[in-house]
Amino acid sequence: MFVRLLAAFIIVPLVELYLLLQLADATSGLTAFAIVIGTGVLGSFLARREGANAWFRFQKALAEGRMPSREIQDGLMIVFAAAMLLTPGLLTDALGFTLLVPAGRALVRRFVLSRYIGSMQVHVAGQRAAGGFSPDGPDPEIESPVYTTRKPSSAKTIDATSYHKTHE
């Protein structure tokens, strides 16, 4: 992982510099500079707009009582897109604009999920549907939460505990 990050921090800026120099050579230095500034300004405007939309969708999902996983993913991709758009360069701008467009985020989401979904396991523990829940925490008179255990594997594991309040 360290080698990949090191390569990314060395190779990507060199490629960006090469592309910017080629653009300046093909047009002019002023045009290349204007493109870099223009994409930064346009990107910050679009990132703010898309970020606000993602925030409203996040609040709506919470109000509907559902887990806002897609909204969180969108928000993270928008933050990453804004960082890419503020970084001078043509490749980072292309990646940033791709992540700002909802279709581009869906494409990246599909790629990431298809690549990593098989290497993760999610174990969820919670109370039975009829279990009690008081404002002070789980009711001690009701059975304790049911936990499932599995033998550890080489896959990455996300561990979560969930309590569901039932209305009687």
pLDDT exceeds cutoff 80 at 151: no
Handedness of CA 6, 7, 12, 15 (dihedral sign): positive
59: left (phi over 0), alpha (psi -120 to 50) or beta: alpha
Q: How far apart are CA 95 and CA 19, in angstroms?
A: 15
pLDDT exceeds cutoff 60 at 136: no
Return the higher-pLDDT residue of 113 and 146: 113
pLDDT digits (tens, 9 = 90+) for 37-87: 898 888 889 889 998 999 999 999 888 888 888 888 899 999 999 888 888
pLDDT exceeds cutoff 70 at 128: no
Q: Averaged over 15-21, what is the pLDDT?
A: 91
When pLDDT is cut at 50, 70 and 90, the band that residue 112 belongs to is: confident
Q: Which two tokens stand for residue 156?
A: 């990455």
Q: Averaged over 16-27, what is the pLDDT?
A: 92
pLDDT exceeds cutoff 70 at 93: yes
Q: How far apart are CA 54 and CA 86, in angstroms?
A: 20
For the chain, the average pLDDT equals 77
User: Is pTM beyond 0.75 here?
Assistant: no
